[in-house]
Structure 1
Amino acid sequence: MTTPMITQAVPGDRERVVATFVAAFEADPVLRHLFPGDSYTALAPAFAGHLFDRRVASGTVWLAEGGAAVAMWDPPGPGGAWPPAASYLPAEAAARVDAYDAVIHPHLPAGPHWYLGVLARDPAHAGRRLGRAVMEPGLRRAAADGLPAYLETATPVNVALYQRSGWTVAHQLTASGLDAWILRHPGLPS
């Protein structure tokens, strides 16, 4: 198996990242809760675009194979206040996003850490280990900073996948009626 090409995203990658996100999370329990029914098609691209726009300037978005997989990380530090979801989503969807985040975020550490906010792989590229490869730059940055990395998932099968990549369960909780797991990784040495 060849090593996938990993690149740092630039603003011009937005369209491909949004397409990968939308395809990857089409059946995700959290995204389907946030954007139920037909609203997913209309609102998931706006949500993905917001997540990308928020992170790309910090140099913490990586692509595998030109966007077949994407990892969007938050580096340690305050990072500024995120705009309220109501600034880019309809009120009802924004309320669901805010309610979910209000349950998850208190379970993340108060101290410095790296946060893997999005790991998405286009289903057309399954089985190539692109997700694992594209998360590695963030894990290496976490290790270089001497900090742990965290993520959350509400997809039970993902917990085992992440555990095979060195993540451990830090918390299990219920958020918006969904089982959710917060996982921790010590980072990868360079």
Structure 2
Amino acid sequence: MPIPEITIATPADREVVVGCTVAAFAKDPVLRYLFPDEVTYPRYAAAFFGHLFDKRVQKQTIWTIERGASTAIWQPPQTGTAAGEDDLSAHLPAGPLARVLAYEEAVHAALPATPFWYLGVLATHPASAGRGWGRAVMNAGLRRAADDGLPAVLETSNPANVELYRRAGWQVVRTVTEPLTIWVMQQ
């Protein structure tokens, strides 16, 4: 089956991209650590993924298939200081926000000091799983990193994803154990 066209997300795609990521990460170890309560998970995860979408959509580094059925949210190499969490703090209470900040601090401490492209989110809506669309949108960002002559980096706390990414050419370059096990991978 041919892969549908890969497009760059626009602000109009926010709702479908956020819906995809919330559904795709419902059982993910990181999201369950950040937002363990079943009742508040959908709302807090939507705020979190919406925040990531909003930070990157104008950079044109969010690739999608079928308007968000599969989505790769990439962060280009950092220039200057990273943006603060002010808009996220307006949507999350203190406990979940503290866990988000602790996780981000642990991840950022484990990332390379040299420039790289960062695959922050790779998601396929469960209704579209198994079609190879996740790999297709991931590859769009990998091509961009290769065009820039830079490595690509991601992190996962899902042990099953480590092998999935290895099969796609990624290698574990660092492991962090707090606040939960995080594998940093590079290609």
TM-score, normalised relative to structure 1: 0.93
Query: 1:25-174 residue pairs with structure 2 within 5 A?
Result: 25-37=25-37, 38-78=39-79, 80-84=81-85, 85-174=88-177
CA RMSD, Structure 1 to Structure 2 (Å): 1.2
Tell me how far apart the structure 1 counterparts of residues 89 and 46 of structure 2 sit (CA, whole Å): 15
Is the partner of 1:152 in helix, strand or coil? strand
1:181 maps to 183
CA contact (8 A) 1:104 1:175 kept: no
**Whole-Å Cα distance in 2 between the matches of residues 81 and 89 of structure 1?**
20
Output the CA distance in 1 between the equivalents of 2:164 and 2:135: 9
Measure how far apart 1:39 and its partner are. Answer: 2.0
Deviation at 1:79, TM superposition (A): 5.8
Deviations 1:78-98 (A, max 9, x none): 264322242432111110001
How many Å apart are 1:4 and its aligned residue? 2.7
CA distance in 2, matches of 1:135, 1:115: 11
Paired amino acid for 1:107: A
Deviations 1:145-183 (A, max 9, x none): 11000000000000111111111111112131x221000
Q: Structure 2 unaligned runs (5+)?
A: none
State the aligned residue count: 184
* Separation in 2, partners of 1:93, 1:82: 19
Aligned pairs for 1:9-28 (under 5 A) are 9-28=9-28
Cα separation, 2, equivalents of 1:174 and 1:141: 30
TM-score, length basis structure 2: 0.94
Task: Please list every run of at least 4 consecutive aligned residues from structure 1 whose deviation after the TM superposition is greater than 4 angstroms.
Answer: none
